[in-house]
C-alpha cells in the first residue's frame, strides 16, 4: 500500500466521508481527495482527520497513531507498510 490508510480505517470504523468530515471539522472534499491521494494535506489537517477517526473509536480502544494512518515516505520515495 502506498500513501495512507485513511479510507481503510474510516470504513473499518463504519464511518462515511460525511461523518468523518463532521468529526474532524473539515470538508468532505478534503477527506475524499486525501483518500484518493489527490491532495497532501497539511500536518494540521492530518491531525484533525486523526482526531476525527479517534473520536469514532470506543472509549477503551487504542487510538490510531499518526504514523499508522499517514506513514512517512521511505528514503526511496515509497511509503512504509
- Look up cell 479510507; give the residue: 7
Q: Which domains does the chain carry?
A: 6-59 (1.10.260.40)
> Is 24's pLDDT higher than 80?
yes
What's the Cα-to-Cα distance from 57 to each of 10, 62, 64, 77, 80, rounded to whole Å?
10, 8, 9, 31, 24
DSSP string, the chain: --S--HHHHHHHTT--HHHHHHHHTS-HHHHHHHHTTS----HHHHHHHHHHHHHTS-TTSPPPPHHHHSPPBPTTS-B--
Which pLDDT score is estimated for 1? 37
Which pLDDT score is estimated for 46? 97
**Residue 52: which pLDDT band, with cuts at 50, 70 and 90?**
very high
The model's pLDDT over 32-49, given as tens digits with 9 standing for 90+, comes to 999 999 999 999 999 999
Amino acid at each position: 500500500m502506498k500513501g495512507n490508510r485513511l479510507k481503510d480505517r474510516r470504513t473499518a470504523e463504519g464511518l462515511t466521508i460525511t461523518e468523518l468530515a463532521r468529526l474532524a471539522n473539515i470538508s468532505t472534499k478534503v477527506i475524499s481527495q486525501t483518500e484518493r491521494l489527490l491532495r497532501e494535506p497539511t500536518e494540521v489537517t492530518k491531525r484533525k482527520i486523526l482526531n476525527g477517526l479517534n473520536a469514532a473509536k470506543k472509549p477503551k480502544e487504542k487510538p490510531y497513531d499518526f504514523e499508522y494512518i499517514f506513514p512517512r515516505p521511505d528514503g526511496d520515495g515509497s511509503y512504509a507498510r
